[in-house]
Structure 1
Amino acid sequence: MKSFSRVGKVDEVLRLFRQMKEGPCYPNVLCHNTVLNCLAAANRFHALRAVLEEMYFSGVIPNVSTFNILVKAYSCHSYQFNLAFRVLDEMSSVGCNPDVITYSTLITGLSRAGRIIDIEAVIEMMLDRNCDPNVYTFAPILKAHCERGDVKAAETLIETMRVSNCLQNSLVHNIWIDALCKSGRFDEVELIFKEGTSKGWKPSTISYNTYMNALCKGGKADEAYRALELMMGNGLYPTVVTMSILLDSLCHASKVFEAKKVLDLSFHFDWEVSLVSYNIVMNTLCKIGHWRSVMMLLVDMLKKGVCPNTRTYNIVVHSLCEAKKLMEAEYLVECKGFSADVVTYNTLLNGYCKTGNLSEVNNLYHRMTIMEKIDPDIFTYNILIEIHCKKGKIKDAVDIFGEAHLKGFLPDLVAYSTFIDGCLKNGLLDKGLQLLDRMLEQGLVPNIAVQESFVRAFCKKNSSHVWISVEKLLGRR
């Protein structure tokens, strides 16, 4: 039953439960709790009461775990707090006293719902019943204060927790560090780190990651690297998250070669480097046009056993296309182990479109749709329409336009703009006007490029309806 519950197969849990009841091995309280927990996880709250009533009827005595499951379902999952408080009363009536987990669970739900006043009542209830709050009682309240931006209330609660000896825990400190970072109070965060050891608390990797992320976002990359040194000095090693934070910061600051050095150092120090880390650096190198560095990183990651994904290859293909290395990009796509998608082919198609190589565009489109069975998207059709219009093959462009429409792709402003410009440059003014009407019916507003194309075409035509058409066009702007 627990195994089926873990994978969310509620019906299988219930089937086994019924099977037990029909046989000699009648379900005990643990079996009933498993059913309750499974139903709660599946949001089948209406069935919880029936299972509890069945326990009473069968003589199975509920325990604290039974009621804690119900409190969690009603407070944290469904926000039915009236039912959650009713469970507390019911516990007392059957001689089962709520414990700190019961109250902490209820407080977690109230905190998420922002019901701070009700939390105070629950705390008083705990103290009246000689049940002392612990760190898991206070943590959700602190988080609620921080999320609401009520720093004063959070500071008061921190002091209460200090008096109650509940501050020797990373969970609470991480919540408070995150709040301070969001407020830009970095000096106070540094003080927390310095005082941590003397006050019985040791920062975790999450603590440092939170701090470094805030520093990087605030443009304080140098301070972030000092925090990294402090982190490693305390015996903690960077994780994938740490690496991503640092690399993202360097790349945004256009310090891509420093980012590459971080990747190199990562293997020297045996840090864990993810595929995401490589993709971050490669994407930035691609944006600034360093295609050779992108290729070197691809080779480097392959040597070090980091397996590229489609995103990686798309970055490389885009980088090669931007450098006009189209044959190299196409060769890469043809390599075994490369999993191309529509983005890959759109990148290649766009590269050949810019060079005006219609035959290669058609070959790639055939390979994409027929051999690779990859469906085109609206960007694919825009590229095809553009290249055919450039080559004066308006009839073919019309067919492509129609094919896109049949496949459910409504042409966007780019498609209309490209197609209209192609028609007008080839002297097909009437066809251009038809497309304009269709464009306006679709609710698209002509951009300045469309307007200028029509003005030039009308002036060349020198017909009587020129200015009426121009006024109509500009009036739609």
Structure 2
Amino acid sequence: MFINALGHRGDVRGAIHWFHKANTFTKDAVCILAIPYWVSSANYVNIAKAIYDQVLTEAILELDVYTYTTMICGLCKVGMVESARKVFEEIPCKPNMVTYNTLIHGFCKKGDMEGATRLFDKLVENKSCKPDVECFTTLIEGYSKRSDFRDALECLKEMMEGLCLSGEADEARKMMSRMRLNGLKEDVATNTSLLKGFCISDETVQHLREMVSSGMKPDVKAYRVFVVNEYCKIRKPSEAVLLLWEMMVRGVKPSMSSFNAVFRVLVDEGKLDKGVLLLKQMPKMGCPPNFLFYCIVICGLCKVKGRMQQVEELILNMLQNGHNLDATMYNCLLAGYCEDGDEEMTPKTVMT
């Protein structure tokens, strides 16, 4: 406690004097001599490093990860990053996230982004810790200071996706705002990662609109977040259909998986007329309906009494578009005619 008090007062010489006067080594004392907030010059760090080396050489006591991290921090503070790297490589215990962050920050501060990247890759490969916001932020700011915005943006995307997948969308938004202030311009992919972390709300829709107003062109993946991942999940197919139309207006061709999700929800919700209408509108959207979409709507109609005339119209349309009936659709038709009490009608009759 006395040595620590001297250190806090900035009396490094006094702390070292009393350390040696104690004539014994303790883990706490070794840590105190390397504490970075009062070690202000390379000379004092060298003294702390010498004590640290003596402890290791003579095996006086077993140091823990906190002691190693403290030593690494002190070395990085005075720019002795290579020495800090060597200490890191000598650690016999498992480094924690603080240890990784400390050395990565040291590399970035020195402008050695290659060293920072290698250490980050090692962290990911070993799966010893999970990169946190501080780790990503340090790398992003390091890349940005070197005007390496491509790598900074890739790092930002990875961080955003991780935050959003873990349900920390608000934190992701804060980080994006911070990066904007640092001059890093996000792209569609970064914003799409952020959208994945939101639940559908007016705020979420507003974020999509902001992407458009800022000059970005949301791609099929960005819209698919809403159409498939959200609106269809919360059973709001009408809103999903509106976004499909918006995609067409903006020159973005919707994916087949988006249509598939919408058709299934429309049928499940009993909104069959909207399903039929969407089938007829698909060619105008640049996406002719495939056999699966016809099957979903037709089989849905067959389960409702009195809808077989519509079914016959869709069958004719489907055949004209080059799609043939399969066993599943034949079974749906048979069930539908039986439901209507028209046992004499058969799929073959419809086709002729």
Q: TM-score interval w.r.t. the shorter chain?
A: 0.5 to 0.7
> Residue 232 of structure 1: which of 212, 222, 227 is its match?
212
Once the two structures are superposed, what CA deviation does each residue of 1:422-457 show, in whole Å capped at 9, x if it has no partner?
A: xxxxxxxxxxxxxxxxxxxxxxxxxxxxxxxxxxxx
Counterparts in 2 of 1:137 and 1:237: CA distance versus 1, 3 Å: farther
**Number of the residue aligned with 1:196:** 179
> Residue 262 of structure 1: which of 236, 240, 243 is its match?
243
Equivalent position amino acid for 1:269 in 2: R
Give 1:225 shift.
Answer: 1.1
Give 1:176 shift.
Answer: 0.7
2 CA distance for matches of 1:285 and 1:221? Answer: 21
**Number of the residue aligned with 1:214:** 197
Unaligned runs of 5+ in 2: 1-93
Counterparts in 2 of 1:302 and 1:165: CA distance versus 1, 3 Å: closer
Q: How many residues align?
A: 237
Give 1:310 shift.
Answer: 1.4
Contact 1:275 1:307 in 2 (8 A): no
Equivalent position amino acid for 2:284 in 1: K
**Number of the residue aligned with 2:336:** 351
> Residue 272 of structure 2: which of 270, 275, 291 is its match?
291
For 1:401-412, what aligned pairs fall within 5 Å after superposition?
none
Once the two structures are superposed, what CA deviation does each residue of 1:248-276 show, in whole Å capped at 9, x if it has no partner?
A: 32222232222222223333333332333
Once the two structures are superposed, what CA deviation does each residue of 1:377-420 show, in whole Å capped at 9, x if it has no partner?
A: xxxxxxxxxxxxxxxxxxxxxxxxxxxxxxxxxxxxxxxxxxxx
1 CA distance for matches of 2:116 and 2:333? Answer: 56
**Is 1:304 aligned with 2:289?**
no
**Number of the residue aligned with 1:322:** 303
**Is 1:271 aligned with 2:252?**
yes
Counterparts in 2 of 1:164 and 1:290: CA distance versus 1, 3 Å: closer
> Residue 165 of structure 1: which of 136, 139, 143 is its match?
143
Contact 1:143 1:175 in 2 (8 A): no
2 CA distance for matches of 1:192 and 1:203? Answer: 11
Equivalent position amino acid for 1:203 in 2: E
1 CA distance for matches of 2:246 and 2:215? Answer: 17
2 CA distance for matches of 1:222 and 1:269? Answer: 21
Unaligned runs of 5+ in 1: 1-114, 372-477
> Residue 314 of structure 2: which of 325, 332, 335 is its match?
332
Give the TM-score taking structure 1 as reference length.
0.43
**Number of the residue aligned with 2:60:** none
Give 1:328 shift.
Answer: 3.2
Once the two structures are superposed, what CA deviation does each residue of 1:58-102 show, in whole Å capped at 9, x if it has no partner?
A: xxxxxxxxxxxxxxxxxxxxxxxxxxxxxxxxxxxxxxxxxxxxx
Counterparts in 2 of 1:201 and 1:139: CA distance versus 1, 3 Å: farther
2 CA distance for matches of 1:234 and 1:298? Answer: 33
Once the two structures are superposed, what CA deviation does each residue of 1:347-399 show, in whole Å capped at 9, x if it has no partner?
A: 32333454565555xx54x89xxx9xxxxxxxxxxxxxxxxxxxxxxxxxxxx
**Number of the residue aligned with 1:244:** 224
1 CA distance for matches of 2:302 and 2:204? Answer: 35
1 CA distance for matches of 2:171 and 2:334? Answer: 54
2 CA distance for matches of 1:255 and 1:358? Answer: 37
> Residue 223 of structure 1: which of 203, 207, 212 is its match?
203
- State the identity %: 23
Counterparts in 2 of 1:140 and 1:263: CA distance versus 1, 3 Å: same
Cα RMSD for the two superposed structures: 3.7
Counterparts in 2 of 1:332 and 1:194: CA distance versus 1, 3 Å: same
Counterparts in 2 of 1:163 and 1:328: CA distance versus 1, 3 Å: closer
Give 1:144 shift.
Answer: 5.8
Counterparts in 2 of 1:116 and 1:313: CA distance versus 1, 3 Å: farther
2 CA distance for matches of 1:317 and 1:182? Answer: 37
2 CA distance for matches of 1:140 and 1:194? Answer: 26
Contact 1:289 1:323 in 2 (8 A): no
Contact 2:161 2:194 in 1 (8 A): yes
For 1:19-418, what aligned pairs fall within 5 Å after superposition?
133=114, 137=118, 140=121, 150-151=129-130, 153-162=131-140, 164-165=142-143, 168=149, 169-216=152-199, 220-248=200-228, 249-324=230-305, 325-334=307-316, 335-336=319-320, 337-355=322-340, 360=345, 363-364=346-347
1 CA distance for matches of 2:268 and 2:196? Answer: 23
1 CA distance for matches of 2:264 and 2:247? Answer: 19
Once the two structures are superposed, what CA deviation does each residue of 1:149-199 show, in whole Å capped at 9, x if it has no partner?
A: 945x43453254256436832221111111111232222211122122332
The higher relative CO (CA closer than 8 Å, separation ≥ 6) is in 2
Equivalent position amino acid for 1:345 in 2: Y
2 CA distance for matches of 1:347 and 1:316? Answer: 11
- 1:133 counterpart SS class: helix
Contact 1:180 1:186 in 2 (8 A): yes
Equivalent position amino acid for 2:220 in 1: V
